[in-house]
């Protein structure tokens, strides 16, 4: 048995969203602005005769309308704190009150229904102090019905109040909206909704892990009713214990790490990894339409973080996830993310009619990963730019497009050519030997002659089991190790890096376009990075760095190094100067 109002009981088999429906102002979740306004109006005696409650589904519009009816009809009222135990409150709670009428406009939205309501409204209340008409889905009323109600809204009879609840306020006639007090209900924040789910689970004797509660809250998209319904289903599926694995079976939601892995593959144009991730999700039984929505949401988060990095409150995510999003968003330009989102939106639209949702998703991801495969103008520009680079037409990228010389089996000869000044002098006529970092244009200023490459550190026995996907998935661990060792400069440079190739001896890292300075800085700290890499992965490969080519048709503003936050800047100064900041002494 569960109390839904003071002294009111419901059977245990009632659905959770009905069982835990708010019955008093303090039980309404996430709508403090609405509750505060209604409570203030009651206390000051300035309550309006008509209200418009608008907002997303499951946010408490109808429940708040019932609470308002209790406020005006409670035997202790009108009061901002209805008792919940008197006859008026009990009857309003169980829906048997004669003067509180709930009308479903979806099925009673004709002009005849509106005329009947207009004729019954002026009559005296049968058992309460006031009559309250709650019209749900009010936007479904016909135009003639709105016209019939207009006069009574303009000159309401005494003791009658109207509450219009709608999820589409833009469909309401301005003449009706102008005669109502409007309250906009908001989606409930993820943390607040997860806290509510944990309270409900505790009262129901369920075992609900915090990560699972947050997953349910995110899946419900701020709807309390949807969240409680999912909790009800999860409890049945998990036998009273709800874990993240239970939710994967319930809603087919992929793990967030998969979304980051997929975005990394798109960032470095790794189509093979894209197909591997999609195939793995197929084997796990994920729904492609739902998966497309999750991927679309992830890239949308990346776009928001990229466009508004100083506004973490824009996204309703945990602090640690926001940091990961910010690091990954730096791998893209805003225009690149906008293009990827447009491809995913088109794929999501096509999935409504196609019989091959997997092919639709893969095609969108391939076009996002390989711009040359896109038949749009951006794809044509990509192919033209590739031809220009091969022909050496584009002066800005000529250094990266010089064709390599014939392969030489003697590795020592290659190293000698790379370190011999005559081999890199254009006047001598000898072509330069491009290394793995040749994708990044060299700086205009002359560079010192590099020292011969040191012998690689012997690999640990675990090297055979280490692959590219493992490195990508565990990259955050390497960043955390750098943070623990106070190597803030190197960590800041590596946040926007993606591993693109690993053959057991050499690890190639890709930087976003325009980060030539970052490429040089990380390459200069190769030994330092090798040491930390060995601590995390057990191997110490040779590190090479390269900057990705920019996407054709997208104007890129070069930024040699991403702007550091105030905390990172202070940490870098402390590292460079080996200094400590003394606290200010108050006078």
| pLDDT attached to residue 375 | 64
The reported pLDDT for the residue numbered 384 is 60
Domains of the chain: 2-184 (3.40.50.300), 190-251 (1.10.8.60), 265-378 (1.20.272.10), 461-573 (3.30.300.180)
> Would you give the distance in Å from CA 421 to the centre of its chain?
51
Q: For 198-232, how does the pLDDT look when each residue is reduced to its tens digit (9 = 90+)?
A: 999 999 998 888 888 888 888 888 899 999 999 99
- What is this structure's pTM? 0.57
Residue 322, classed as helix, strand or coil, is helix
pLDDT for 582 equals 63
Return d(Cα 3, Cα 514) in angstroms, integer. 62
Residues of the chain with pLDDT under 50: 1-11, 389, 394-463, 552-562, 586-587
Q: How far is CA 100 from CA 74, 108, 485, in A?
A: 12, 16, 66
What percentage of the chain has pLDDT greater than the value 70? 73
Averaged pLDDT of the chain: 77
Closest CA to 317 of 328, 234, 469: 328
pLDDT on residue 77: 77
For 28-81, write each residue's pLDDT tens digit. Answer: 998 999 999 999 999 888 888 999 999 988 999 999 999 999 999 998 878 888
136, 62 Cβ separation under 8 angstroms: yes
Backbone region of residue 253 per phi and psi (left: phi > 0; alpha: psi in -120 to 50; beta: other values): beta
d(C-alpha 50, C-alpha 165), whole Å: 11
* SS3 state at 541: coil
Whole-angstrom distance, CA of residue 520 vs CA of residue 566: 23
Q: What is the pLDDT of residue 229?
A: 92
Dist. CA 270–CA 366, nearest whole Å: 9
216 and 229 Cβ atoms separated by less than 8 Å: no
Predicted local confidence at residue 570, as pLDDT: 65
State residue 432's pLDDT score: 42
Cα–Cα distance, 543 to 506 (Å, whole number): 6
Closest CA to 275 of 210, 366, 197, 397: 366
User: What pLDDT score does 390 carry?
Assistant: 52
Strands of the 160-166 sheet, one edge to the other? 100-104, 131-136, 160-166, 50-54, 181-184
């Amino acid at each position: 048995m569960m109390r839904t109002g003071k002294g009111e009981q419901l059977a245990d088999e009632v659905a959770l969203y009905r069982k835990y429906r708010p019955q008093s102002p303090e039980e309404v979740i996430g709508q403090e602005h609405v509750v505060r306004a209604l409570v203030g109006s009651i206390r000051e005696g300035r309550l309006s005769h008509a209200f418009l409650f608008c907002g997303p589904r499951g946010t408490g519009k109808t429940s708040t309308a019932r609470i308002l009816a209790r406020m005006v009809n409670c035997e202790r009222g009108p009061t901002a704190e209805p008792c919940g135990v008197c006859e008026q409150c009990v009857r309003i709670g169980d829906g048997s009150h004669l003067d509180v009428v709930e009308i479903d406009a979806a099925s009673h939205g004709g002009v005849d229904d509106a005329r009947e309501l207009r004729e019954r409204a002026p009559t005296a209340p049968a058992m309460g102090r006031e009559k309250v008409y709650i019209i749900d889905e009010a936007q479904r009323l016909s135009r003639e019905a709105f016209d019939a109600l207009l006069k009574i809204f303009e000159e309401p009879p005494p003791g009658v109040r109207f509450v219009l609840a709608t999820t589409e306020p833009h469909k309401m006639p301005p003449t009706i909206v102008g005669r109502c007090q409007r309250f906009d209900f908001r989606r409930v924040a993820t943390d607040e909704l997860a806290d509510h789910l944990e309270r409900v689970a505790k009262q129901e004797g369920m075992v609900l892990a915090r990560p699972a509660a947050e997953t349910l809250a995110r899946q419900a998209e701020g709807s309390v009713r949807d969240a409680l319904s999912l909790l009800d289903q999860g409890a049945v599926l998990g036998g009273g214990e709800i874990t993240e694995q239970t939710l994967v079976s319930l809603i087919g939601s992929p793990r967030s790490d998969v979304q980051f892995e997929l975005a990394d593959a798109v960032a470095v144009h790794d189509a093979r990894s894209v197909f591997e991730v999609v195939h793995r999700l197929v084997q796990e039984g994920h729904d492609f339409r739902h998966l497309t929505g999750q991927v679309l949401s992830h890239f949308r988060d990346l776009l928001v973080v990229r466009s508004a990095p100083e506004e973490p409150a824009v996204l309703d995510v945990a602090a640690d996830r926001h940091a990961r999003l910010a690091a990954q968003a730096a791998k893209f330009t805003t225009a690149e993310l906008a293009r990827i989102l447009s491809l995913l939106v088109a794929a999501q639209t096509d999935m409504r009619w196609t019989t091959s949702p997997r092919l639709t998703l893969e095609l969108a991801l391939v076009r996002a990963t390989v711009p040359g495969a896109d038949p749009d103008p951006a794809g044509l520009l990509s192919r033209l730019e590739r031809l220009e680079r091969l022909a050496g037409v584009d002066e800005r990228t000529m250094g990266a497009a010089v064709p390599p010389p014939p392969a030489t089996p003697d590795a020592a000869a290659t190293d000698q050519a790379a370190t011999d000044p005559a081999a890199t002098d254009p006047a001598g006529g000898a072509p330069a030997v491009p290394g793995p970092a040749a994708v990044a244009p060299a700086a205009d200023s002359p560079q010192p002659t590099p020292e011969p490459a040191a012998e690689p550190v012997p690999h640990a026995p675990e090297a055979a089991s280490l692959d590219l996907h493992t490195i990508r998935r565990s990259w955050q661990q390497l960043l955390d190790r750098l943070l623990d060792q106070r190597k803030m400069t190197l960590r800041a440079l590596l946040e926007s890096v993606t591993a693109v190739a690993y053959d057991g001896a050499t690890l190639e890292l890709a930087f976003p376009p325009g980060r030539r300075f970052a490429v040089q800085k990380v390459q200069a700290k190769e030994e330092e990075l090798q040491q930390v890499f060995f601590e995390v992965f057990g191997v110490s490969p040779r590190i090479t760095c390269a900057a990705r080519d920019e996407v054709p048709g997208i104007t890129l503003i070069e930024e040699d190094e991403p702007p550091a936050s105030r905390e990172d800047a202070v940490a870098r100064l402390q590292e460079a100067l080996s200094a400590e900041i003394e606290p200010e002494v108050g006078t």
